[in-house]
């Protein structure tokens, strides 16, 4: 599984880019979730996620069981490790699948067409969370 990540400690933002990731079946989904959770747990604290799906996709053979499992597992990881999440990149079909799973597994999808749009939304989210914490 191919992915790049970087953590900005000052901003408390984990950026994850999945270039060339193709989810074809439930095993691919499990490996994807395990890799993501391994990174998140290594930080030892909750942080904001910036997820870039550019260059990643669902394979044509993926079935509803794998997609539903993905939605449930993403919700679990987000609930456990994230202060907030924004996503960008990917195809329109991928966007629609993620939106659907966000509705079925109550989670905000916060999906933006561009990385710049996602970063702007992340700044607003952090500011709002800081204001609410006071």
pLDDT digits (tens, 9 = 90+) for 14-54: 998 877 788 889 999 898 889 888 888 999 999 999 988 88
Which run of H or E residues covers position 66?
helix 64-81
Radius of gyration of the chain (CA): 14
* 96 in a structural domain: yes
* 92 in a structural domain: yes
Q: Looking at the 3D structure of the chain, how many domains does it have?
A: 1
Would you say 6 and 43 are in contact if contact means Cβ atoms under 8 Å apart? no
- CATH, residue 36: 3.30.750.24
* 107 in a structural domain: yes
The pair of three-digit structure tokens given for residue 5, joined into one six-digit string = 């990540």
pLDDT for the residue numbered 97: 61
Task: Look up the domain containing 82 and give its range.
Answer: 4-127
């Amino acid at each position: 599984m191919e992915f790049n990540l970087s953590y900005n400690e000052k901003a408390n933002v984990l950026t994850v880019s999945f270039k060339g990731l193709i989810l074809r079946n439930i095993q691919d989904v499990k490996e994807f979730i395990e890799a993501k959770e391994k990174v998140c747990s290594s930080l030892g604290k909750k942080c904001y996620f910036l997820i870039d799906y550019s260059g990643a996709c669902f394979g044509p053979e993926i079935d509803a069981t794998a997609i539903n499992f993905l939605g449930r597992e993403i919700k679990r990881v987000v609930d456990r490790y994230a202060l907030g999440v924004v996503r960008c990149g990917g195809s329109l079909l991928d966007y629609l699948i993620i939106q659907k799973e966000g509705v079925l597994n109550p989670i905000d999808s916060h999906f933006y067409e561009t990385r710049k749009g996602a970063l702007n939304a992340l700044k607003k989210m952090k500011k709002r969370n800081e204001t609410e914490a006071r």
